[in-house]
Amino acid sequence: MTGPAKSGPLFSISAKRCTAVRDRKDKVDPADFTLEGLRGEEAGRVPGTINGQQFIIQNCQSSQIFLLDHINTITIDDCSDCTIFIGPTTGSVFVRDCQECVVVGACGQFRTRDCCRLEVYLLCQTQPIIEASSKMKFGCFQAFYPQLKEHFSKASLSVFNNNWSNVYDFTPVDGETNWSTITQPSALPHAFPLPRTQSLASVGLSVVEESSVVPYTLGSPQYHGQEAALVILFYDSDQHHRATTFIAGLRSQVADCRIQHSREVKMEAVDAVRVFQGSEHKAAVSRGPIIALLCLGTDVHQACTVLAHNTGVYVTPDSSIGHRQIDSFFSYASMSMTM
């Protein structure tokens, strides 16, 4: 009786000590996920150092900040004259009381409040919102580093689901426009200096269009008066690679090719019947989300048709029927974004 009676308390104490050690290891130190009070500095985080945690940037001036990892949510407060790169962020990027900054980021939601003269190069899965903000400029996200595709996946963001130009002004002013768009891919490399410190520079960040993992798009799907083709790639395990390859092939064949808008969305059979004006593609859309590319350019329809031959890619007809299908699809996609 004596031995077992003593071993019980000892085992209990040991278990408690192990739990305490594990709790200390798992505890997050907020300082590891905060950048504050920078003045004319370069700072940031390399891949593997944020790992989906929340992050805070506040009270920084004239500094270059690079968060090269996937993030949960991030708030940016009281910053001025800074350039900030934000890796794929599952939830929201909230920018408050900032001015004269250039922000490059990918996120589920984006919002500003009390900001002025920001340039924002954005991938956003939902509609960006500005509030009490003025002289804002928005452009399409473009960036590459070797781990970026993986970070998009870990953040559950689609590189084809970008609503960067569909900005909602929560506090409009009569007779004034609080935001405008940037539609030149060359604008970002000129506005955004790359890292210089060895640890950050070694990650290999690039912000040129040619290497970007996110397709460069011109914005909202307004195409009337231009030759246009809507390309639909049905779901399979290689869908994203096929879409990227299709875009590269199209650009090599059409000198003035532009991707007006891209969208990744799940369609129900009834929606497919309405968009495609028939039941032919009901089974295909049931497999998973489709990727849609609204392509513009000289003879773009013919080029899309050739590239899509025998590949399981749908291209809208070069006719009024095709235009109706394009309008019907983006009407559906717009509604699905708000659901």
Residue ranges for the known binding site are: 91-92
Q: How many angstroms separate the CA atoms of 130 and 115, rounded?
A: 9
**H-helix or E-strand containing 278?**
none
Q: Which residues contact 35 (CB under 8 A, 6 or more apart)?
A: 43, 44, 56, 57, 58, 60, 65
Please name the amino acid found at residue 176.
E
193-216 in b/e burial notation, b at 16+ Cβ within 10 A?
A: ebbeeeebeebebebebeebbbbb
Q: Which backbone phi and psi does 80 adopt, to 5 degrees?
A: -140, 145
Question: How many other C-beta atoms are found inside a 10 Å radius of the C-beta of residue 104?
Answer: 24
Q: Which backbone phi and psi does 136 adopt, to 5 degrees?
A: -90, 145
**H-helix or E-strand containing 66?**
strand 64-67
Bridge-based pairing of strands 228-233 and 290-296 is antiparallel
Closest by alpha carbon to 262, among 294, 220, 222? 294
Residue positions forming the annotated binding site for GTP:
91-92
CA dihedral 126, 140, 99, 90 (to 10 degrees): 40
Q: How many angstroms separate the CA atoms of 84 and 67, rounded?
A: 8
